[in-house]
Amino acid sequence: MVHKSSSAYQTQKIAQNLAKKYKLKGDILALTGDLGSGKTTFAQGFAKGLGIKEKIISPTFVLIRQHKIPGTQRTFYHIDLYRLDIIEDIKSIGIKEILEDKDNLILIEWAEKIEKLLPDSTLKIHFEKTSDLGRKIWYT
């Protein structure tokens, strides 16, 4: 199914709804789409849906931010690989260890950069900008 969004708010709502299904389990969400297509906006809504109150800012420079999921013992990882160029860097920032812990709930922007490291169970979320405010969002 393809979601059509016509505002940042709507994109956040789509993500917030999806988050309800993920509140109680570990998983990996792999986001792909051009610059400005709405990946961080989606991450903000997703975190809100998990009950996370902290402000979600793009981890473009730090690559990884972590937030405790309220009411659980689990951690939400928000990873942004935009600045990552070579697979060697991925090893050095410890992503493999984070991916291996099945209790973690992980959302990755620019996930195509580590496609080979992602398990088959990964939910891929695609973003396409169709106009100024228009976005298509779909899952594979």
Q: Which residues lie near Mg ion (CB under 5 A)? A: 39-40, 58, 109
Q: Which residue, chain included where needed, has tokens 């990755």? A: 108
7 binds ligand ATP (CB under 6 A): yes
63 binds ligand ATP (CB under 6 A): no
36 binds ligand ATP (CB under 6 A): yes
We find the least distance from the C-beta atom of residue 4 to ligand ATP, in angstroms, to be 9
What's the rounded Cα separation, in Å, for the pair 118 and 9?
A: 29
Tokens of 90: 């991925």
Question: Do 104 and 77 meet the contact criterion of CB atoms below 8 Å apart?
Answer: yes
62 binds ligand ATP (CB under 6 A): no
The helix (H) or strand (E) run that includes residue 47 is helix 39-49
Q: Which residues bind ligand ATP (CB under 6 A)?
A: 5-8, 10-11, 33, 35-41, 58, 82, 109, 127, 133, 135
